[in-house]
């Protein structure tokens, strides 16, 4: 037989596009349209419905950037259409290639009842099936004219990302507003042909099945009268019945399709718009669930559920019913799909506490999986947190975006820093917006790396980000793919059902140890520095507020602010969403975040001040409150006392110009250009700075990645560097223990104060940058005379080691990585810590000196600022302040202590006398991360702690208050059924912790 494959395939494409798809709606009549443009921000639904609109014609431009327009469409169903299915086709000016990234609408009936969302791939509203004819139609559309930020020429700077700069030009053209007859037979024929055509294209040319499909398609096309598609569609479908009925082979891959709409809680739109995106999507999905009995939809992010409950009660009622039916499924158990690299220990824990508690309180449902398809890599401490929250599973997708190395598994056990393992799945479909295309299904089956030992994978199915979720077309395709020869088998299932099957068939999967590093989007550790600083400071303010409020509540009867702390935690957690904290959202988002963080700081400082004053009492004794988990200057951890100062710092001129700081522990030499050329550890009798090098070296790189400006820094940025060695001035500080340095470069200016506190082994660097560069990357370098093959960086509830070498592509790809409060490098017996108060990105490199002592230089560089122009063209312009400290002679415990110390400065209050801590621990390696009252309002005291140094620890925790019992709990403060009762001797609890083990104790007060 001659090979006419290309001929038939081309025929299928043209006939589908030009004849069959248009015949789905064979008759239509125009609707009358009127519009009211809401002034300013969106208005309540009742106000939009009551507004008096003005006529508008199809073809007219509408919608200023970020505006809201209320369209009213009216019409009458023709009498001649009686007995037929009729739909309204409402095209606001959609581009079908951009679902989720442009205008959207939510359709209401005149009484305010939501009907469904309008999106580029979902433009229809059912009027009747069948209609009687003569019905009056009246619908209202709340239409959002969100501008297209990421368009066909992506990453170009735009002012559209903030309503204050976006202008008022109309963004869209009203394209179609019609009533139309819907021919379901033709629509089903379209689905038949799409499924078979897409499957055929994925099969080997030499396979009999491909040719069987080809001939069936040819017969169907022959059966269609192109002048009467509607009259011959059933005849054409009959030619496909047999080929669609052929069952899949027994070994076919099995795909659990989960209806899904990944909605970024903020990104190329502000938070307020996400509230409406969620309402539109949930309206769509509850409507689809009513129409499709096999369909299942899962939605993550408790915050988004809470928005529906608060802002769209009419939609919430439909959601609650669908949840009760078991088909609208809460997923993930987190407050938002947060970044997981940068949130601190307690914040990461609270993501699960608040997320899981919401679903438990509202529905009595507890999630067993973390659901994070789009997060930019996963910190090595996360498995223990997931397990401590009562979950055992993780789903993600983003690692498939890695540029350098392909991850070797799709289903595996992920082991964290403490040895906790989590059953983890990466969907091999390689998208969290699966649309049931044949190419996607075939890719999932081919790509699945666990063939032969596992057969199941998951496919999150639906358009996200306001694209409306799963469509009826996707459901129809999935129905045909349920058992179809040549294809993987597809079945709608809940995440739990998938994981149950996957674990049962693969009881001993491979293990991946350590972080799940995304080899992409590394610059999100630095972009939008203010947002990152405000996050870090909010986390520490929350620690202080809980600690002092709990202490005051127990000691003085102070009113513990349960509700206010709950609200603030949820706000901070929201801003850890994986496009807010990473700095990859539009200007509007970060402008609002700055204002929100300012209000948070004011409220938390108010709580802290009130609690400390209640504790201090009336008096004139100068007290220092120490919120850090280690004593300092004679003040106990979690308590208050007069501070003790030891020693003094001498400042002297340096022979070759510059200054010398000396406090008897360290001797610091700062040259005439403000560079630190020597940090001498007097006790250890060794130099910290590599020979011939200088620390406190600011380095400037060009920074223009190939894509994803705010997200990415590409490795070639290192090829060009400018050392900022020229100083405008280097002067002695007025306090006699510091040096002040000023530099200028480009359009920017840096002012630094370097200080050596008396009695302390740390050089403190306070840096102020008035930043006005674009597409530049600013680093602060510390070249250290340390031979280290690996280094430690703090992560949640511990630290994680990374190699300093680049032996393999996996190590080379980690040229920018995340740390929390410290980076630590060491030789046996001596190390150096670089600690920070608000930066996350860093790099560590090693070189062997070719002259002199041929020793190894290990250079730690912290990332200060970037200046990408997309999506915020003014990213980080203005003044920034950073604090870092260089700590020579530090072991890992010193690094932990100094990190906390730098982030929790002393607070000075006058009062009657010392304040004893509620709890004390006699072992520095056991770090208390939270002291609070139980969330249920019982007054119980909750204490959370972990082993922080990576070794086994025995310690005694002493509670300085009367308690009736103590219980080991999970993160939600529920007793752990398999946990042994703590060994107790009156107020003392004896602890034995594994490396990095996390523990929560709940004390019932006597």
User: So which residues are the catalytic ones?
Assistant: 374
Strand 659-662 relative to strand 676-681: parallel, antiparallel, unpaired?
unpaired
CA distances from 892 to 345, 856, 899, 925 (A): 17, 20, 11, 9
Q: Residue 670: what are its φ and ψ, rounded to 5°?
A: -120, 120
Rounded Cα–Cα distance for residues 333 and 241 (Å)? 43
3-state SS, 650-687, equals EEEECCCCCEEEECCCEEEEECCCCCEEEEEECCCCEE
**Which ranges of 246-344 would DSSP assign to H, the alpha helix?**
271-291, 302-311, 313-324
Rounded Cα–Cα distance for residues 6 and 19 (Å)? 19
The two structure tokens encoding residue 786: 């340390």
The two structure tokens encoding residue 718: 């290192």
CA distances from 136 to 90, 117, 590, 634, 870 (A): 17, 21, 46, 81, 48
Contact 589, 576 (CB under 8 A): no
Rounded Cα–Cα distance for residues 23 and 14 (Å)? 14
- Torsion angle defined by CA atoms of residues 883, 888, 891 and 893, in that order, rounded to the nearest 10 degrees: -30
CB neighbourhood size of 711 (10 A): 22
Which uninterrupted H or E stretch holds 88?
strand 86-91
CA distances from 949 to 118, 610, 1000 (A): 54, 34, 18
| 695: DSSP letter | B
Task: Name, in order, each residue with C-beta under 8 angstroms of 290's C-beta and a sequence gap of 6 or more.
Answer: none
Contact 836, 342 (CB under 8 A): no
Which uninterrupted H or E stretch holds 228?
none
957 three-class SS: strand
Rounded Cα–Cα distance for residues 359 and 306 (Å)? 10
The two structure tokens encoding residue 539: 């986390």
Which residue, among 793, 786, 790, has the nearest Cα to 831 in the 3D structure? 786
CB neighbourhood size of 734 (10 A): 8
Rounded Cα–Cα distance for residues 157 and 147 (Å)? 14
Contact 375, 337 (CB under 8 A): yes
> What are 739's strand-pairing partners?
732, 754
Residue 658: which region, alpha, beta or left (left: phi > 0; alpha: psi -120 to 50)? left
Rounded Cα–Cα distance for residues 724 and 701 (Å)? 11
Contact 583, 590 (CB under 8 A): yes
The two structure tokens encoding residue 732: 């002695």
Rounded Cα–Cα distance for residues 355 and 350 (Å)? 8
Report CA 607 to chain centroid distance, whole Å.
Answer: 29
Rounded Cα–Cα distance for residues 627 and 927 (Å)? 12
Task: Name, in order, each residue with C-beta under 8 angstroms of 306's C-beta and a sequence gap of 6 or more.
Answer: 358
User: What string of DSSP letters covers 153-188?
Assistant: STT---STTSTTTS-----EE--EEEEEE--HHHHH
């Amino acid at each position: 037989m001659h090979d006419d494959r290309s001929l038939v395939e081309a025929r299928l494409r043209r006939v589908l596009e030009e004849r069959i798809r248009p015949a789905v709606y064979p008759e239509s009549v125009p609707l009358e349209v009127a519009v009211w443009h809401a002034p300013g921000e969106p208005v309540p639904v009742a106000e939009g419905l009551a507004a008096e609109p003005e006529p508008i014609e199809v073809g007219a431009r509408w919608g200023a950037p970020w505006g809201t327009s209320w369209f009213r469409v009216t019409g009458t169903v023709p009498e001649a259409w009686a007995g037929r299915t009729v739909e309204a086709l409402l095209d606001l000016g959609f581009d079908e290639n951009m679902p989720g990234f442009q205008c959207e609408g939510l359709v209401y009936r005149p009484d305010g009842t939501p009907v469904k969302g309008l999106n580029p791939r979902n433009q229809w509203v059912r009027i009747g099936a069948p209609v009687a004819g003569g019905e009056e139609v009246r619908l209202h559309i709340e239409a959002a004219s969100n501008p297209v930020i990421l368009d066909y020429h992506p990453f170009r700077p735009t002012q559209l990302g903030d309503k204050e700069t976006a202008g008022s030009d109309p963004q869209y053209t009203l394209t179609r507003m019609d009533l139309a007859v819907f021919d379901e037979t033709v629509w089903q024929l379209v689905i038949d042909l799409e499924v078979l055509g897409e499957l055929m294209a994925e099969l080997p040319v030499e396979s009999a099945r491909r040719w069987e499909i080809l001939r069936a398609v040819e017969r169907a096309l022959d059966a269609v009268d192109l002048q009467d598609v509607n009259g011959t569609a059933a005849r054409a479908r009959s030619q496909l019945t047999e080929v669609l009925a052929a069952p899949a082979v027994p070994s076919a891959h099995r795909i659990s399709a989960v209806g899904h709409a990944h909605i970024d809680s903020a990104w190329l739109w502000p938070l307020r718009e996400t509230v409406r995106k969620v309402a539109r999507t949930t309206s769509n999905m509850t409507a689809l669930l009513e129409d499709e009995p096999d369909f299942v939809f899962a939605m993550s992010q408790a915050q988004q559920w809470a928005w529906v409950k608060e802002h769209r009660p009419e939609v919430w009622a439909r959601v609650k019913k669908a949840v009760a039916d078991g088909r609208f499924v809460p997923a993930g158990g987190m407050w938002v799909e947060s970044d997981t690299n940068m949130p601190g220990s307690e914040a990461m824990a609270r993501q699960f506490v608040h997320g899981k508690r919401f679903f438990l309180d509202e529905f009595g449902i507890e999630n067993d999986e973390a659901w994070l398809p789009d997060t930019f890599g996963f910190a090595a401490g996360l498995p223990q947190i997931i397990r401590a929250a009562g979950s055992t599973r993780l789903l993600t997708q983003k690692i498939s975006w890695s540029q350098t190395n392909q991850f070797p598994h799709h289903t595996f056990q992920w082991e964290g820093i403490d040895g906790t393992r989590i059953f983890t799945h990466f969907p091999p479909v390689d998208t969290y917006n699966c649309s049931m295309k044949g190419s996607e299904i075939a890719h999932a089956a081919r790509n699945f790396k666990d063939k032969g030992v596992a057969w199941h994978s998951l496919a999150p199915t639906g358009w996200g980000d306001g694209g409306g979720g799963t469509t009826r077309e996707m459901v129809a395709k999935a129905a045909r793919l349920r058992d179809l020869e040549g294809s993987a088998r597809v079945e709608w299932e809940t995440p739990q059902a998938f994981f149950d099957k996957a674990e049962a068939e693969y009881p001993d999967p491979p293990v991946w140890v350590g972080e799940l590093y995304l080899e992409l989007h590394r610059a999100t550790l630095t972009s939008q520095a203010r947002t990152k600083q405000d996050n870090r400071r909010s986390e520490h303010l929350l620690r202080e507020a809980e600690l002092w409020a709990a202490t005051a509540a127990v000691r003085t009867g102070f009113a513990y602010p349960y509700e206010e702390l709950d609200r603030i935690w949820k706000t901070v957690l929201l801003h850890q969403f994986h496009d807010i904290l990473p700095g990859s959202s539009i200007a509007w988002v970060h402008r609002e975040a700055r204002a929100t963080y300012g209000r948070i700081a004011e409220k938390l400082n108010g709580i802290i001040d009130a609690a400390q004053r209640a504790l201090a009492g009336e008096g004139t004794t100068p007290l220092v409150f120490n919120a850090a988990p280690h004593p300092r200057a004679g003040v106990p951890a979690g308590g208050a006392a007069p501070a003790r100062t030891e020693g003094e710092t001498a400042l002297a001129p340096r022979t070759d110009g510059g200054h010398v700081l000396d406090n008897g522990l360290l001797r610091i030499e700062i040259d005439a250009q403000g560079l630190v050329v020597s940090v001498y550890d007097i006790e250890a009798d060794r130099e910290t700075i590599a020979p011939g090098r200088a620390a406190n070296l600011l380095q400037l790189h060009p920074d223009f990645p190939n894509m994803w400006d705010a997200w990415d820094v590409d490795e070639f940025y290192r090829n060009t560097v400018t050392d900022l060695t020229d100083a405008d001035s280097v002067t002695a500080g007025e306090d006699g223990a510091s040096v002040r340095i000023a530099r200028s470069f480009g359009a920017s200016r840096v002012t630094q104060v370097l200080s050596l506190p008396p009695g302390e082994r740390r050089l403190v660097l306070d840096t102020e940058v008035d930043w006005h560069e674009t597409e530049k990357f600013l680093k602060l370098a510390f070249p250290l005379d340390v031979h280290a093959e690996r280094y430690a960086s703090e992560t949640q509830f511990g630290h994680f080691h990374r190699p300093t070498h680049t032996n393999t592509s996996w190590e080379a790809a980690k040229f920018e990585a995340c740390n929390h409060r410290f980076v630590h490098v060491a030789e046996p017996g001596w190390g150096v810590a670089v600690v920070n108060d608000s930066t996350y990105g860093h790099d560590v490199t090693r070189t062997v000196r070719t002259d002199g002592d041929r020793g190894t230089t290990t250079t730690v560089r912290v990332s200060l600022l970037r200046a990408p122009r997309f999506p915020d063209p003014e990213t980080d312009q203005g003044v920034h302040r950073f604090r870092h400290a260089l700590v020579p002679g530090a072991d890992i415990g010193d690094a932990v202590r100094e990190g906390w110390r730098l982030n929790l400065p002393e607070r000075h209050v006058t009062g009657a006398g010392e304040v004893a801590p509620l709890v004390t621990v006699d072992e520095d390696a056991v770090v208390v991360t939270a002291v609070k009252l139980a969330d249920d309002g019982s007054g119980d005291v909750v204490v959370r702690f972990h082993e922080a140094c990576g070794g086994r620890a025995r310690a005694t925790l002493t509670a300085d208050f009367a308690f009736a019992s103590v219980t080991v709990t999970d993160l939600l403060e529920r007793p752990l059924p398999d946990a042994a009762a703590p060994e107790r001797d009156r107020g003392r609890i004896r602890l034995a912790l594994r490396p990095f083990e996390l523990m929560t104790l709940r004390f019932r007060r006597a």
